[in-house]
Chain A
Amino acid sequence: MNKHSMLSEIWRRFRKNRQAVAGLIVLVLFVVVAVFAEQLAPFGYDDQDASRAMIAPCLEFPFGTDNLGRDVLSRLLYGSRYSLSIGFLAVGISVLTGGFLGVIAAYYPKLDNIIMRCMDLFMAIPQMLLAMCIVTALGSSLFNLMLAVGLSSTPKFARVVRASVLATREQEFVEAARAIGAGNWRIILHHILPNSISALIVQATLAMAGAIISASALSFLGFGIQAPMPEWGAMLSAGRKYIRTQAYLTVIPGLAIMVVVYALNVVGDGLRDCLDPRLKK
């Protein structure tokens, strides 16, 4: 009942998981970097200078420069804005749409077949192709990119949520809730969802990694993030041409993606553990 004490209780449990706390710190750092990119970056993200192209990491350019002489560190810092927001928002979109459809499908057996067969239809189309179609239809912009990435992974979320809701819905406490006069939405929101949320959290953190990568792939193909804008995936693809001679151009954005994705995963794991009171020690 007391919201404050409940949050502090969750935080207390979360804190015990060192790995998750480390992950959270990393994530917060990245968010701070994204917010203050302008102040932190030594150069602009599109400051070109042919005279200093392809400089390997040194004191002046800690992460080196690319083929156009742009500072990789600055581009990385600015790029965190796009990559993080794509990760969060795209997954937010798929959690909402997929979660909603999954719950409805599992809770109302009459709609189950209609919804899930539609989801199957979407799954039959390769995710990248689907995302490309969506971006093409809506026009290429950052938001449409997120929408495309988010909507194209909706079916996966719908399946995961449906499966865990199906299992929860047969539990006796759901019947007990019905016996005290709770309505359908109350049962879904208070009794079923909190008991099936852990699968969704894990899926969401994993998908965030996937979303960042899909968005980069789309950027590479020319959908979404356009050329001078720094996005980690786009940087990765651009550096691919020089992977034999200037490996740092691919390794550095790749590492950035990896670190964020790993941090997201451990935080998701820790979150799932501390949200479940049954696992309390």
Chain B
Amino acid sequence: MAESILEVRNLEIRYVTDEETVCAVNDISFSLEKGESIGLVGETGAGKTTTALGIMGLVPDPPGEIVGGSVLFEGQNLLRMPEKNLREIRGGKISMIFQDPMTSLNPVMTVGEQIAEVVLLHSKMSKGEARKKAMEMLEQVGIPGGRCDDYPHQFSGGMKQRVMIAIALACSPELLIADEPTTALDVTIQAQVLELMRNLKQEYGTSLILITHDLGVVAKICDKVAVVYAGEIIEYGTLKDIYTDKRHPYTIGLFDSLPDIENESAELKVIQGMVPDPSCLPEGCKFHPRCPYAEEGCKHGRMEPVSVSETHMVRCGRFRGGEV
């Protein structure tokens, strides 16, 4: 078995305010091997971003609170690590690309300075060397190195996202977390950025957690898929498991709701109902109010994961008791 680089076990994160407690992440577990990529798929508000922030140790506290679980990165539990050591890992070994490239760059620093900043923080390079490295990284993501002294507002959205990727990869991290890296970009730029990420990932051997709600993007670069619903992974497996042998009614619904270009039906299929309010989640299976197959048994108790095959896990009452 290949070396496991990241193992998230039973992660639970809540946002506690005076009015309500939002259970953003409930019992999420997955593992990632070196060089592998996993896609976290789900609707807005499913807890994907919070999971990513939890791994980075960046959940805003207050109101965020990591209630339980562990995040093992190269065998060390990040949740118990002192802030000082965490800071060395952030940007150095684990880096993150944020959703909106427009606001994730500091407007008053040149892009070169911002790439050099992460290099200076994590290596013993001199300022001159860091600047050279920054130019190299810019070239790597397809921006002329000479634009190193330009400010973020002089770049287009797609180029800003490339700059973010350059920052994220500047220290050759072991793990890259990309939080909806293409959501804010238009389709042609999306394709370029994805291509770029895939190439760089292969070149550096970086593991990747890709957070998205776009199933097409996942199919393009991920090895494994985790479908997240209401803070839980409801189905987990290899790309093939999920795309050809999906089991959970929610996953099926998610795929059914993709518009089909060949079959010109008048209406798009939708999953009935709404994502549950994470401050008062339903009992039992969290999907049962929307599930067409819901039975009495789904409404109570805890839904435990069931293995379909060695790589494929589903959290659904229909597969309880082994009959898959």
Contacts of A137 in B (CB 8 A): none
Of the A-B pairs whose beta carbons lie under 8 Å apart in the complex, a sample of 16, sorted by A's number, is A1-B112, A1-B127, A2-B149, A172-B100, A175-B104, A176-B105, A178-B90, A179-B91, A179-B98, A180-B90, A183-B87, A190-B109, A195-B108, A276-B108, A277-B107, A277-B153
A177 surroundings in chain B (CB, below 8 A):
106, 117
Interchain CB contact under 8 A, B113 and A1 = yes
Chain B residues with CB below 8 A from A136, complex form: none
Contact status A175-B98, CB under 8 Å: yes
Cβ-based interface call for B116 (8 A): yes
B121 touching A181, Cβ below 8 Å: yes
| B145 to A: closest C-beta gap in Å | 13
Query: What B residues does A278 contact at CB under 8 A?
Result: 107-108, 151, 153
- B235-259 to A contact mask, C-beta < 8 Å, 1/0: 0000000000000000000000000
Q: Are B108 and A277 neighbours in the complex by a CB distance under 8 Å?
A: yes
Which of A2, A173, A181, A280 is close to B106, meaning CB atoms less than 8 Å apart?
A173
Is A113 located at the chain interface by the 8 A CB criterion? no
- In Å, the complex CA distance between A181 and B85 comes to 9
Task: Give the residue of B89, B91, B108, B116 whose beta carbon is less than 8 angstroms from that of A1.
Answer: B116
**Within 8 Å CB of B125, what residues of A?**
none
Q: Given A180-B91, A181-B122, A277-B151, is A194 in contact with B58 using a C-beta cutoff of 8 Å?
A: no
Distance between Cα atoms of A191 and B106 in the complex (Å): 7
Q: Does any Cβ of A come within 8 Å of B92's Cβ?
A: yes
- The yes or no answer to B197 lying at the interface (CB within 8 A) is no
Do residues B109 and A194 form an inter-chain contact, with CB atoms below 8 A?
Answer: yes
Q: Which residues of B contact A1 (CB under 8 A)?
A: 110, 112-113, 116, 127, 131, 149
Q: Which residues of A contact B95 (CB under 8 A)?
A: 179-180
Which A1-59 residues have a C-beta within 8 angstroms of B?
1-2, 5
User: B232 CB to closest chain A CB, in angstroms?
Assistant: 25
> In whole angstroms, what is the CA distance A275 to B109 when docked?
11
| Interface assignment of B263: CB less than 8 Å from any CB of chain A | no
Q: What is the distance, in angstroms, from B129's C-beta to the closest C-beta of chain A? A: 11
List of A residues within 8 angstroms of B122 by Cβ: 181
- The reply on A163 being an interface residue by CB < 8 A is no
Interface of A is mostly: helix
Give me the interface of A with B, judged by CB distance under 8 Å.
Answer: 1-2, 5, 171-173, 175-183, 186, 190-191, 194-195, 275-278, 280
Q: Besides A179-B91, A180-B90, A190-B117, 6 other CB < 8 A contacts?
A: A173-B107, A176-B98, A176-B105, A178-B90, A190-B106, A277-B108
Query: Residue on B with the closest CB to A195?
Result: B108
Does B13 make an interface contact (CB < 8 A)?
Answer: no
B interface residues, tally (CB under 8 Å): 35
Q: When the two chains form their complex, are residues A181 and B118 in contact, meaning their CB atoms are under 8 A apart?
A: yes
User: In the complex, what distance in Å separates the CA atom of A194 from the CA atom of B91?
Assistant: 22
Partner of B88, one of A172, A176, A181, A190: A181
Shortest C-beta distance, B280 to chain A (Å), equals: 27
Nearest chain A residue, comparing its CB with the CB of B87? A181
Determine the chain B residues whose CB is within 8 A of the CB of A181 once the complex forms: 86-92, 118, 121-122
Q: Is the CB of A182 within 8 A of B113?
A: no
CA distance A251 to B185 in the complex (A): 62
Give chain B residues whose Cβ lies under 8 Å from the Cβ of A194. Answer: 106, 108-109
Query: Which are the 3 A-B pairs with shortest beta-carbon distances?
Result: A180-B91, A181-B91, A181-B90
Which one of A182, A275, A277 lies within 8 Å of B117 (CB-CB)? A182
Which of B90, B112, B151 is close to A179, meaning CB atoms less than 8 Å apart? B90
Q: Is the CB of A176 within 8 A of B108?
A: no
Q: Does B272 belong to the interface (CB within 8 Å)?
A: no
Most chain B CB neighbours (cut-off 10 Å) among A173, A191, A277:
A173
* Bound-complex Cα distance A190 to B87 (A): 16
Residue numbers in A under 8 Å from B92 (CB-CB): 181
Query: What is the distance, in angstroms, from A134's C-beta to the closest C-beta of chain B?
Result: 36
**What is the distance, in angstroms, from B172's C-beta to the closest C-beta of chain A?**
13
Residue of B nearest to A279 (CB): B153
Residue of A nearest to B103 (CB): A172
Tell me the smallest distance from the CB of B63 to a CB of chain A, in Å: 11
Given A1-B116, A180-B117, A277-B151, the answer on whether A172 and B104 have CB atoms closer than 8 Å is yes
